[in-house]
Amino acid sequence: MSLGRSRVSFSASISIVAMLLGLTGSGESQVFTVLANFGTTSSNPWFATPTQGRDGRLYWTNSNNETDGTGTVMVFDVNTGFRRVLYHFESATGTTPYGGLTLGIDGDFYGTAQYGGASNYGVLFKITPSGTYTVLHNFAGGTDGIYPSSPPVLASDGNYYGTTGLIDAQGETQSTMYRYSPSSGFTSFGDIAGTQGPIIQASDGNLYATTYGGAVVEFSTSGAFLNGFVLPPADGSFTLGPVMQASDGNFYGAAQDGGPSNYGTIYEMDPSGVFHLLYGMTAISPYPDGGLIEASDGNLYGDAWYGTLYQITTDGNFTVLYQTTVQQGDGVGAALLQHTNGNFYGTAHTGGPRGLYGTLFSLDMGLPPFISLVRRQGRAGSLAQILGQGFTGSSSVTFNGVTATSFHVVSDTYMTAVVPKTTTGPVVVTTPSGTLSSNGNFQIIP
């Protein structure tokens, strides 16, 4: 059924509705700010983590609107407050884009819409920063999959990998995994254990995802199942959010339920698949399901369902940073993004002054600017893509202390560099204002 297309306006206003100066675990001050309040024409960023583009702006998806329920792609400038609807979905091109976007090596964004398309089973799409939208694949059911709810991940081979939902003949929720190659198109790898969460690529080159039942599954980039690691019931259950790999080589994730108080957990898994309960959530910060990120200060940051923003160290030292109110957005179900300006950004899919429409917010922890890598893996001689700010006039780029003989400043917020013969380590850019270091190592692939 076509839902049609209506004229869209976005009336999200900039308003600082809360500023909290307090103490974190390291004694730093913090400022929480509501940046945009969503309304009836563009609403509900379900599980949509903002993504930083080459231009330094934030891009994400809102999955709904009251006019026709189809959803939108949004853009927000963190420096000026400029914001607008970049694209309005319609039934023929996909509807209800739940999961946000992934920045591609071409500078465009890749994502999925859970419904709509040729078979009404959802689509894989890409969209340019100027709003040109292209359907890359219409999901058709069967081993092809249906109802994708998260964006694909960009892997070191230049391809994109993702998962879909699938309802089998017995009505059980299963999933499929797929690969999209810019040169050769779409390939389905068929059924995998029930997961719709985002995939990650680890330092070993393999793909990892979480399942609803409480497991971490490992696959090769050819789609072969390699391992399944089951989270002990005492360490949590219902692992809806993704797993991530920190700089210490271990994996970290959030379980929405289970644990000592049955409010969910933060868990650690070493590379061999051994789990460790890092922290049991309490009634103050219940039901974490958006996943974790490792920030430039080496700590992990996450959020819980009712608007709790928190920090946790890899040793399990847990600190509540901020608790949102209903007026600020209280349904937080997506991981945070740390922008290269040092601040954190996130979305609440419900709450806000206009009702149940959600908000866009930031959290300033006083962390300095840094650089981010579009891909953290590559071979000597390959082209690394670098996001940041203040690049104009940069004089050098180093990879683990070895100078790149060739680099190109494309804009003040985006540059490229040819990877020298070196070993795995941080990337450092020398700008007229000082040096900017990467928030993670660049891994050299043999």
More confident residue, 6 or 250: 250
pLDDT at 67: 61
Check residue 73 and give its pLDDT. Answer: 96
Check if the beta carbon of residue 36 is closer than 8 Å to that of residue 43.
no
Beta bridge partners of 160: 154, 180
Contact call for residues 328 and 352 (beta carbons, < 8 A): yes
Q: How confident is the model at residue 23 (pLDDT cuts 50, 70, 90)?
A: very low
Which residues 6+ apart lie within 8 Å of 268 measured at CB? 250, 251, 252, 275, 276, 277, 278, 314
CA nearest neighbour of 363 among 328, 389, 387, 393:
328
The string of DSSP letters for 423-441 reads -SB-EEEEETTEEEEBSSP
User: String of b and e for 331-352 (b: at least 16 CB within 10 Å)?
Assistant: bbbbbbbbbbbbbbbbbbbbbb
Cβ distance 251 to 216 under 8 Å?
yes
pTM here is 0.91
Q: Output the pLDDT for position 229.
A: 93
Distances (CA, A) of 369 to 67, 330, 390: 40, 28, 10
In which band, very low, low, confident or very high, does the pLDDT at 155 lie, cut at 50, 70 and 90? very high
Fold of 372-444: Immunoglobulin-like (2.60.40)
Helix, strand or coil, per DSSP, at residue 143: helix
Of 8-22, 253-267, 358-372, minimum mean pLDDT range:
8-22
Could you identify the residue written with the tokens 């400043």? 409
To the nearest 5 percent, what fractions of the chain are helix, strand and coil?
Answer: 5, 45, 55
Look up residue 440 and give its two tokens. Answer: 């993670």
User: Looking at the predicted structure, is the pLDDT value of residue 126 above 60?
Assistant: yes
Please name the residue that has the structure tokens 């898994």.
269
Q: Which residue, 396, 324, 385, 311, is CA-closest to 360?
A: 324
Query: What's the CA gap between 341 and 59, in Å, rounded?
Result: 16
Question: 241: pLDDT confidence band, cut at 50, 70 and 90?
Answer: confident
* 247-303 tens-digit pLDDT: 999 999 999 999 999 999 999 999 999 999 999 999 989 999 889 999 999 999 999
pLDDT of res. 16? 32
The pair phi, psi for residue 278, each rounded to 5°, is: -85, -40
pLDDT greater than 70 at residue 27: no
What average pLDDT score do residues 236-249 get? 90
The better pLDDT of the pair 169, 223 is held by: 223
- Residue 52 and residue 103 in contact, taking contact as beta carbons nearer than 8 Å: yes
Query: What is the Cα–Cα distance from 119 to 379, expressed in whole angstroms?
Result: 40
Specify the pairing of strand 377-378 against strand 443-444.
parallel
Our CA dihedral for 264, 265, 266, 267, rounded to 10 degrees, sits at -130
Query: What whole-number distance in Å separates Cα of residue 17 and Cα of residue 354?
Result: 13
- Report the alpha-carbon distance of residue 113 to residue 93 in Å, rounded: 9
Q: pLDDT (tens digit, 9 = 90+) per residue, 67-86?
A: 666 899 999 999 999 999 99
First to last CA, the chain: 51
Q: Where are the beta strands (DSSP E) in 10-129?
A: 31-37, 51-52, 58-62, 72-76, 83-88, 102-103, 109-113, 123-127
Phi/psi of residue 371, each to 5°? -120, 155
Determine the length of the chain. 446
Domain map of the chain by residue range?
Answer: 199-240+243-289, 372-444
> Cβ(356)–Cβ(62) under 8 Å?
no
Q: Mean pLDDT across the chain, nearest whole number?
A: 89
Amino acid making up residue 10: F
Q: Report whether pLDDT(172) > 70.
A: no
Q: Please state the φ and ψ torsions of residue 233, each to the nearest 5 degrees.
A: -55, -35
DSSP 93: G
Which residue carries 């600020």 as its tokens?
328
